[in-house]
Copies of this chain bind each other. A is one copy, B any other.
Amino acid sequence: MSKQKLSKLEYGVMEALWAKREASIREVQDFFPEKKRPAYTTVQTTLYRLEAKGSVKRLRKVGNFHIFAATVTRSAAQTTLIDDLLSMFGGKTQPVMAHFIQSGS
């Protein structure tokens, strides 16, 4: 399904794919800022899970490794996340707007 809600780490992994169009596991890992870079196998597991959820696909195998790409757009993923939050607020955008205004954003 396309309406998969992404977790924080999953979203971070997707960021790499959205930015680079396609990438190997290693490239995705390197995309994380050094300070918060997960282990190679953590990224691997996350990509596998995203693949199982249908948010990512393996494009091809290059030499010894796979190339992954996102199957959902960034804005679609963001929309799912935002709608999920709004559902907690009864669908009202008001609390969010109020927060933006109050925090001066």
Please list the residues of chain A having a beta carbon within 8 angstroms of any beta carbon in chain B.
8, 11-12, 75, 78-79, 81-82, 85, 87-89, 93, 95-100, 105
Contact = CB atoms under 8 A, between A and B. Distances in A.
Contacts of A105: 93
Contacts of A81: 85, 88
Contacts of A85: 81-82, 85
Given A11-B88, A81-B88, A85-B81, A96 B95 contact: no
Most buried by B among A12, A81, A89, A96: A96
Most buried by B among A98, A99, A100: A99
A3 to B, nearest CB: 15
